[in-house]
Structure 1
Amino acid sequence: MQKRFRVDLARLAAYERVCGFATGAVAMPVTYPHVLAFPMTVRVMASRAFPLPVLGLVHTSTEMTQRRGLPADGEYEISVCVEGLAAHRRGTEATVVTEARLAGTLVWESRNTYLARHATAGAPGPRDDVAERTPLPAVAEWRFAGDVGRRYGAVSRDRNPIHLYPLTARLFGFARPIAHGMWTVARCLAELPADGESLTVRAEFKAPVRLPGTVTYAAEGNRFELRGAMQRLHLTGEVQPAPM
């Protein structure tokens, strides 16, 4: 699926405020093309060709590569496709590939994995390394308000009920709303110094962040993470130079 987009600058500024980025920059954040592509991603997943149930899909990881600065006033051609399915020890995982082109040149791409949980018979898949991971140095303690999911949903158009209200979250098995994974990534990236226009961001979502809630933001070098009470790991990530 392909579509052309021109960035709505007012909506971009609202997104930047919700995520903690500075507003008014010439270039948009590395996470914003994901927001532009989100309606297309939903349509791809909701099509009859997509073999997994959309309700209940868990976003498990993201990898975004920015090959140059992304001008906020540019017109982008964005494409979304499902690269394939893979067996996972907790179900089946789908990989969704998104590409953004500016004047025909690939400037941004991402790979996102989504897990459909179901019973398996010893299917392979990466095991969590949470117990083995040494926490990064704490930088700040963040208190997330209960309306973060609604505010981010308004600017990203991701209004999944699990992020909005206690009542709607309970319908899907959550006692309270949980933060959008991509919002937590963006919030962390907003704290890191800008390190060139060509970069790759990788992040894994380990456990949901309940709203309202308090987390510890930790970072060292090119790595970052969010931890909750009892050192529970919610998110891990890193920023690297983009491959040539």
Structure 2
Amino acid sequence: MGHQWHELSKTAPLPGLYLQAVRKRKISGTTLPITGLHCSLEVNAERLAAYRTLCHFGDDPLLPATWPHVMAFALHLQLLTAPAFPFPLLGLVHLSNSIQVIRPLGGVSRLRFAVRVENLQAHEKGATFDLITEACDSLGLLWSETSRLLCRGVKLPGEPSIEPEADALPLSELTRWYADSTIGRRYARLCGDYNPIHLSALSARLFGFPKAIAHGMWSKAMALAALRGHLPTSGYAIEVSFHKPVRLPSEVILDASPVAPAGQLRLSGHGGLVHMQGTWRTLEAP
């Protein structure tokens, strides 16, 4: 069954969306809605410059590959807090994120987004689904993203699927950075993701975390900035799985395989704690 698309002229205000998220605390069903959202959004040059600084991208004529995710964040919230969406937003766990840069992200001032959910599957801890985001310019599809999210406690028929692990490549340290105690609040102010687990130790403890944790998409953005010499300007995919959260403050280490059309990365803490693992690969020509 195809999706039914709602055309939006602008995104909804974030405070109202967060209020809806707080009000919904229970699972209301086991069927994903077929409604999707379309919206055209302008690139905010001031926010983009601040994002480049925060995530260490530096000056570049191309948009960071994670920037369309930030642009579409309010659309994500609007879709995931709609009455037809069966799971509470608070408590969803971001398991993985895959981005495809199909054409160079240069000379872009406006993008048309399409956001939808699909692929509901059983998981050993509940159920997973994919949040799909696509960004187009006047020539067509430019960028796409799949975020896999887990809702604990959902009961679905069938057995959880097991994805095969890729053979490990030799990795060496590429860089390291210090995630200070304020990074969650600074990322939230810029990108709109005010999940309490990222803001302070006090608010994080309300959700079972002893300390505030870094946003997963900040960690991915920092890794992408460090991997610029490994990746082409377009025609590639980079996927990461989020493991142990980065507790704030802490130092993390990014290891990567050598420059090649396909490679692997790992973000670790001291003592061998793995926070994030991922792969990149070039896309086949259409």
**TM-score scaled to structure 1, two decimals?**
0.92
CA shift at 1:46, angstroms?
Answer: 0.5
1 CA distance for matches of 2:245 and 2:76? 21
Percent identical among aligned pairs is 35
- Opposite residue 140 of structure 2, the aligned amino acid is T
1:182 is matched with 217
- Opposite residue 234 of structure 2, the aligned amino acid is E
CA shift at 1:133, angstroms?
Answer: 6.1
2:116 is matched with 81
1:237 is matched with 278
Q: How does 1:212-223 map to 2 (within 5 A)?
A: 212-221=249-258, 222-223=263-264
3-state SS of 2:221 partner: helix
CA shift at 1:26, angstroms?
Answer: 1.8
3-state SS of 2:271 partner: helix
* Structure 1 residues 182-217: Cα deviation after superposition (integer angstroms, max 9, x where no partner): 110110111111423221111110111101012221
Bigger Rg, which one = 2
2 CA distance for matches of 1:128 and 1:144? 31
* 1:148 is the counterpart of 2:183: yes
Segments of 5+ residues of structure 1 without an aligned counterpart are: none
1 CA distance for matches of 2:92 and 2:265? 25
User: Taking structure 1 as reference, are residues 206 and 72 closer, same or farther at Cα in structure 2, changes over 3 Å only?
Assistant: farther
Segments of 5+ residues of structure 2 without an aligned counterpart are: 1-36
Aligned residue pairs: how many?
242
CA shift at 1:141, angstroms?
Answer: 3.3
Is the 1:7–1:72 contact (alpha carbons within 8 Å) kept by the matching residues of 2?
Answer: no
User: Taking structure 1 as reference, are residues 68 and 203 closer, same or farther at Cα in structure 2, changes over 3 Å only?
Assistant: same
Q: How does 1:36-185 map to 2 (within 5 A)?
A: 36-71=71-106, 73-103=108-138, 105-118=140-153, 123-126=159-162, 136-185=171-220
**TM-score scaled to structure 2, two decimals?**
0.79
2:241 to 201, 204, 216: 204
3-state SS of 1:51 partner: coil
User: Taking structure 1 as reference, are residues 128 and 17 closer, same or farther at Cα in structure 2, changes over 3 Å only?
Assistant: farther
Is the 1:88–1:125 contact (alpha carbons within 8 Å) kept by the matching residues of 2?
Answer: yes
* Structure 1 residues 31-74: Cα deviation after superposition (integer angstroms, max 9, x where no partner): 11111111000110111211222111010001111111113542
1:4 is matched with 40
2 CA distance for matches of 1:174 and 1:72? 41
Name the Cα RMSD after superposition.
2.2
